[in-house]
Homo-oligomer: A and B are copies of this chain.
Amino acid sequence: MSNPSLLILPGDGIGPEVMAEVRKTIDWFGANRGLHFDVSEDLVGGAAYDAHGTPLSDETMAKAHEADAVLLGAVGGPQYDDLDFSLKPERGLLRLRKEMDLYSNLRPAQCFDALADFSSLKKDIVAGLDIMIVRELTSGVYFGEPRGIFEEGNERVGINTQRYTESEIERAARSAFELAMRRNKKVCSMEKANVMESGILWREVVERVSKDYPEVELSHMYADNGAMQLVRAPKQFDVIVTDNLFGDILSDCAAMLTGSLGMLPSASLGAPMANGRPKAMYEPVHGSAPDIAGQGKANPIACILSFAMALRYSFDQGAEADRLEAAVEKVLADGVRTGDLLADAGVQPVSTSEMGDAIIAAL
């Protein structure tokens, strides 16, 4: 049997440097745990635009379809701000999500014990926090038509369309309930059903799906109240399920609560392929951080933990994922810190590659 394949798309900004540390980790699992991957690498985002004039070439798209899992670094940078909408780095990422039909975006918001002090929230509010946000990722206002800037009378109008079919809502909801079954059996669904008809349909379908999971306690919350409750008392949540746009904002809000933005991975999952594995792409929640790119300052942990999620969700290697996550916890407990994790001056930060080496050593 051939090895499972990994397509690595480092992208822009700090993407390449954090991905270099992921490769070390992948190599370690090959050499020490007999987990071998066929790894290939390609371009996405601004890097792809610079090379090919498009943020994702058709060849790369085809490779992504064939890969057993895709690992993505980050896309975007100020030098691409004035590009036409269709050429912006983000379009490469959105094309991957859409064409691979990665409808379920899992974003854990987890507070690492060693870092609880680093949150802007009081320690007792966030210590031990462990939420999973399931964000619908292939529909909604991100992809709805009509969209664009149109002439109307003597001015222009900007239009986007929020659009959800029952089946789109259903499959996202189902993945949230499945996760909740393996966690604390609580799902909170967030929308604006008091203002938006798409939210009414969302709520109705989530209710219907919940009938198949009688053990899971379901609640509903308006998204504005959801943002408040995340800030007020985030530990009330287990799994949150929400749409593409609300998920974008609420998951970033939740991520920031933990104070560990450089630590948070994500998985974007689609339907099972012929080999039974889900279509999947893994990426850190943080962005391309152009201000520190190329300086060896970036924290590679979010990207390394994204590989841990790949081990768990694509390759059924939950125990190896646990091993990698434990190594990260150990390194943090030992006080190893990249610059983003340092509240106090005085402590010496390690570089991106030193952090990667420390994690390998802990493995």
Contacts and interface: CB of A to CB of B under 8 A. Distances in A.
Given A149-B200, A165-B156, A197-B85, A253 B227 contact: yes
Contact of A231 (B144, B152, B156, B253): B253
A274 B202 CA distance: 44
Contacts of A34: none
A162 B141 contact: yes
Given A120-B232, A224-B249, A85 B163 contact: no
A259 to B, nearest CB: 9
Interface size class of A (residues with CB under 8 A): 35 or more
Interface of A: 76, 85, 88, 90, 94, 120-122, 125, 141-142, 144, 147-149, 152, 155-167, 192, 194-202, 223-225, 227-228, 230-233, 245-246, 248-253, 255-257, 261, 287
Contacts of A167: 155
Contacts of A245: 192
A193 to B, nearest CB: 9
A203 to B, nearest CB: 10
Closest 4 CB pairs of A and B: A158-B198, A158-B201, A227-B253, A224-B252
Contacts of A232: 120, 256
A227 B252 contact: yes
Nearest to A147: B197
Nearest to A155: B166
A230 B85 CA distance: 27
A253 B159 CA distance: 26
Number of copies: 2
B157 A166 contact: yes
B194 A159 contact: no
A160 B227 CA distance: 21
A192 B248 contact: yes
Contacts of A233: 120
Chain B CB within 10 Å — which of A152, A228, A230, A232 has the most? A228
User: Which has the most chain B C-beta neighbours within 10 Å: A202, A231, A252?
Assistant: A231
**Most B C-beta atoms less than 10 A away, residue of A155, A166, A195:** A195
